Amino acid sequence: MAHRTAAAALVTCAALVAVSGCSSNFDSGRKTEQDTGRQQQLSILIASSGDAETKAVRDAVAAYEKASGNKVTVDVAKDINQQLAQGFAGHRPPDAFYVNSDQFANYAKGGSLYAYGDQIKDADDFSARLRASFTYDGKLTCLPKDVSTLALAINTDLWKKAGLTAKDYPTTWAQLRTVAAKLTGKGVTGLVTSGEHTRLGVFLKQAGGWITNADQSKMTADSSQNIEALTYVRSLLKSGDLKYASQVDTNWGGEALGKGKAAMTIEGSWLTGGMKTDYPDTTYTTVPLPAGPGGKGTLAFSQCWGIAADSTHRAASVDLVKYLTSAKQQVENAQAFGVLPSRTSAQAAFVKLDPSAKVWVDGTAYAQGPVTVPGFEKVLTQFNTDLATLATTDPKTILTSLQRNGEQALTKDKDN
* Radius of gyration of the chain measured on its C-alpha atoms: 22
Contact 176, 288 (CB under 8 A): no
Report how far residue 213's alpha carbon sits from residue 219's, in angstroms, rounded to the nearest whole number. Answer: 6
Q: What pLDDT, on a 0 to 100 scale, did the predictor assign at position 9?
A: 34
Question: What SS3 class is residue 43?
Answer: strand
pLDDT digits (tens, 9 = 90+) for 101-150: 888 999 999 999 999 999 999 999 998 889 999 999 999 999 999 999 99
Average pLDDT of the chain, as a whole number: 91
- Quick one: what percent of the chain has pLDDT higher than 90? 84
Burial of 194 (0-12, 13-18, 19+ CB in 10 A): buried
| Phi/psi of residue 196, nearest 5 degrees | -130, 165
Average pLDDT rounded to a whole number, residues 258-265: 98
Neighbours of 27 (CB within 10 A): 7
Per DSSP, the residues of 71-108 read: EEEEEE-SSHHHHHHHHHHTT---SEEEEEHHHHHHHH
More confident residue, 246 or 38: 246
Residue 310 to residues 25, 27, 31, 338, Cα–Cα distance (Å): 8, 12, 8, 32
Is pLDDT above 80 for 394?
yes
pLDDT digits (tens, 9 = 90+) for 188-199: 999 999 999 999
Q: What pLDDT, on a 0 to 100 scale, did the predictor assign at position 12?
A: 33
Average pLDDT rounded to a whole number, residues 49-63: 94
- Quick one: what percent of the chain has pLDDT higher than 70? 93
Categorize the per-residue pLDDT at 30 as very low, low, confident or very high, splitting at 50, 70 and 90.
low
Average pLDDT rounded to a whole number, residues 13-21: 40
Report how far residue 119's alpha carbon sits from residue 147's, in angstroms, rounded to the nearest whole number. Answer: 21
Q: What pLDDT, on a 0 to 100 scale, did the predictor assign at position 415?
A: 78
pLDDT digits (tens, 9 = 90+) for 329-369: 999 999 998 899 999 999 999 999 999 999 999 999 999 99
- Secondary-structure breakdown of the chain: helix, strand, coil percentages, each rounded to the nearest 5: 50, 20, 30
